[in-house]
Every structure is written in C-alpha cells, then in structure tokens.
A = this chain, B = another copy of it.
Amino acid sequence: MQEEVLRRIRTLEWAPGNQIPNETDLAREFGCARATVNRALQSLAEAGLLERRRRAGTRVAALPVRHAKLRIPILRQEIEANGQAYGYRLLECETTPASERAEQLFGKAKLLHVLALHFANDEPYVHEDRWINIDAIPTATEVDFSKISANEWLVTNAPISTGEIAFEADAADHTEASIFGCKLGAALFRAERTTWHDGAPVTFVRQTFLPGHRLVMRI
C-alpha cells in the first residue's frame, strides 16, 4: 500500500506538484480502511515526499526536501560499532568563569568546564571541550569525570528536552595540532551541541574529530 504509493511517486506517475486522490478514494481503490491510507500518507509526508493540507488535499512535493536521519550515538558506541577499542582520558575539569563563547549562551550561570579526549584503538579520535551549567545540574560537581565521560554521564543523568547540533570545518589550533599530530591550520571537522531543559541551557560541547573524519547519513 505505502509501497504502491511510493512507486507511483518514484516513477513520476504522480508527478511533483500534482494532487493525488483523497484518502477515501485511495482506501476504496486499495480495498483497505481510511486509517491505513492515512498512516501511509502521513509517513510519506513526514519523509518530505508529500505535502498535505486540510481541504487542499495531498500533493507530491514539488521540490521534495529530503530528510536524513542522523543518529547521534554516544562516542563509545560509535567507536565500538567500528570494531575499535574505546578509550577516554580527562584532561581538565574545573569550575571556572565562562569563556566569551560560553557566557553568550549561559550568562552568569555557574559553570563546570571539562576537557577530555576520546580514543579509538589508542589513537585520539575526538577532542571534547564542554561546559556544564551547574545551576541546572548541581550533582555534576560530585561526579568523577576521569572515570566516566561527561558524554555518558549526562545522557543518563540530565533531563534534556531540546537541543541543537551544528557542524563546521575549522582550522586546527596549536592544541589540536599536537593532539592529532597534524599541521597547524589543518582542516578539522567540528560538532557543536547545545542542549536545553525547560528553557535553560544545560550543556554546550564542542567536539573536534581527527583529520579525515566523515559524518555519513542515509537518506
């Protein structure tokens, strides 16, 4: 049923921009209940292939905005899924005044600053620079982040509601060059993630990956 609809879209039998029959008619044609048609079409709409509006009906998306789903695993899982041995080392962990960047986000909140390295087969894989809002998660000060990565601890101990993740390319600074053994200014892949709970920022982390890292998604 959903596959037949997909086929008609893909073969351009139902061309981009065109309206398709309404749910009741499709239900009759396929000999199934309207609820079944509804689920199938909603799923395709969510995937960006259809555009649905009440009264206006359902159309094949003219410029289908494809959606890719990005799995954001814990780094340990990502590394172990690649068949490599995971390692972790805490570099620095202190309550400290916010950097300029962190202050923009957190304001005057009390912050914990955590620097750490994640290893794959004993090679540096990610350099992590994290700020944690102590006002939002007071128990964070009692954790020994040399034993468990902030990455994993937060996942199970911080109630998180929304977040944003951004990716960019940037030049390696002195620290990163020495960590990854690359040249100063080499192109590195960065991910910056911010999470909020109840409108308050909980943590901001900048993860810098080893040179040559690729982020891959299926469409």
Q: Which residue of B lies closest to A17 (CB)?
A: B156
| Partner among B70, B155, B216 whose Cβ is within 8 Å of the Cβ of A63 | B155
A213 CA to B68 CA in the complex, in Å?
19
| Partner among B65, B73, B162, B169 whose Cβ is within 8 Å of the Cβ of A218 | B162
Copies in the complex: 2
Q: Which residue of B lies closest to A197 (CB)?
A: B10
Cβ-defined contact, B70 with A10, below 8 A: no
A213 CA to B18 CA in the complex, in Å?
35
A10 CA to B166 CA in the complex, in Å?
23
Cβ-defined contact, B168 with A218, below 8 A: no
- Please tell me if A97 contacts chain B, counting CB pairs below 8 Å: no
- Please tell me if A21 contacts chain B, counting CB pairs below 8 Å: no
Question: Which one, A84-92, A101-109, A181-189, is touching chain B?
Answer: A181-189
Given contacts A66-B72, A168-B169, 11 further A-B pairs with CB under 8 A are A10-B160, A65-B73, A67-B70, A67-B72, A163-B218, A166-B214, A166-B217, A167-B215, A168-B215, A169-B188, A169-B189
